[in-house]
Chain A
Amino acid sequence: METLGSFFAMGGYAAFVWPAFGVTAAVLIGLLLASLKSWRDNEAALRSLEDSQQTRRRRSERGNAP
């Protein structure tokens, strides 16, 4: 790599090399973010449901369930 310009030119193959790497990056980063989001959402929903069920159980054990 002599200059930044020749690096980006990819010996005239820029129109093929950069889209190939770009699509790869877009797909892999997109899938990673979607997977992280689905994990966080499901964990949060599970935790809030578990909390609410515990509260209800404690209340009914004390005998003042609504």
Chain B
Amino acid sequence: MHRFANPTRVLRIAAAILPWSAALTIVLFASGLYFALVASPIDYQQKDAVRIMYVHVPAAFMGMMGYALLAVASAVGLIWRHPVADLTAKAAAPIGAAFTFVCLVSGSLWGQPTWGTWWVWDARLTSVLILFFLYVGYMAIWQAYDDQARAARAAAILALVGSVNLPIIHYSVTWWNTLHQGSSFSLAGSAIDPAMLLPLGLMTGAFAAYFVTVLIYRLRSEIAQRKLGVLRLRQAEGLQAT
């Protein structure tokens, strides 16, 4: 039963984290939304449209962090044949895709009033759209194979190849001319006013806590489904033997 030994430990750790991440999700969303929509100043140029930043920037950040997690888990699964790592990557993909989708939609809704356009095919926007397609392709590969081990391998290879897109997204605003602004954060500090930094930090924390919470539920579901497959296979073999 060594196959179940590891998932059991992972599930125990996940069960210990879950109440904290769930509570943090609720508290951070409640306070983050209050500061984002009510108790933060408007921008002198963008007025209230600046509030879109409080969902757009955390969604972009978590979309990229989710892909980084997916790529690392895929590498672990590929190198050490660790099924829980494969399932973690599989569980993370829809969450990362959802955040990337939110990033694209909120960015479009922010672009229209501030840039005068919903969309431009420039480096930043295009590379984030590619990130979304990478997530979708990754999920499609899992669906395309009946053999879960082969599906995991093929999906992991796509995940690793696609990870070159992460630095491209990050540096796209410095490497190419773009409508999108450069990074407001550096090692030297932030170019954002503290009154706006607070809701931004709270919302980023809320998105991260949400990510962990939903990841745990999805991982539980994936592990249960994998056990179900093993049991059904054993049952079929047992019926054949008698």
Which residues of chain B from 210 to 237 have any CB-CB distance to chain A below 8 Å in the complex? 210, 213-214, 217-218, 220-221, 224-225, 227-228, 231-232, 235
**How many angstroms between the C-alpha atoms of A39 and B101 in the bound complex?**
23
**A residues near B, CB below 8 A?**
1, 7, 10-13, 16-17, 19-21, 23-24, 27-28, 31-32, 35-36, 38-39, 41-43, 45-46, 49-50, 53
Is the CB–CB distance between B231 and A20 below 8 Å?
no
Is the CB–CB distance between A16 and B49 below 8 Å?
yes
A24, A46, A49: the one contacting B106 at CB < 8 Å is A24
**How many angstroms between the C-alpha atoms of A59 and B106 in the bound complex?**
59
**Size bracket of the B interface:** 35 or more
Is the CB–CB distance between A42 and B228 below 8 Å?
yes
Is the CB–CB distance between A46 and B224 below 8 Å?
yes
**How many angstroms between the C-alpha atoms of A42 and B225 in the bound complex?**
6
Is the CB–CB distance between A27 and B98 below 8 Å?
yes
Q: Is B112 an interface residue (CB 8 A)?
A: yes
The smallest beta-carbon distance between B168 and chain A, in angstroms, is: 25
B-chain residues with CB within 8 Å of residue A21 when the two chains form the complex: 33, 37, 51, 55
- Closest residue to A57 on the B side, CB-wise? B238
B-chain residues with CB within 8 Å of residue A35 when the two chains form the complex: 94, 214, 217-218, 221
Contacts A13-B113, A20-B106, A31-B94 given: A49-B228 contact, CB under 8 Å?
yes
Per DSSP, chain A at the interface is helix
B-chain residues with CB within 8 Å of residue A7 when the two chains form the complex: 37-38
Q: Which 6 A-B pairs have the closest CB atoms?
A: A11-B48, A39-B221, A42-B224, A10-B48, A20-B106, A13-B48
B38, B48, B231: the one contacting A46 at CB < 8 Å is B231
Given contacts A13-B113, A27-B102, 11 further A-B contacts (CB under 8 A): A10-B48, A11-B48, A17-B48, A20-B109, A21-B55, A23-B109, A24-B55, A38-B221, A39-B218, A42-B225, A43-B224
**How many angstroms between the C-alpha atoms of A45 and B223 in the bound complex?**
12
Q: Is B17 an interface residue (CB 8 A)?
A: no
A-chain residues with CB within 8 Å of residue B227 when the two chains form the complex: 46
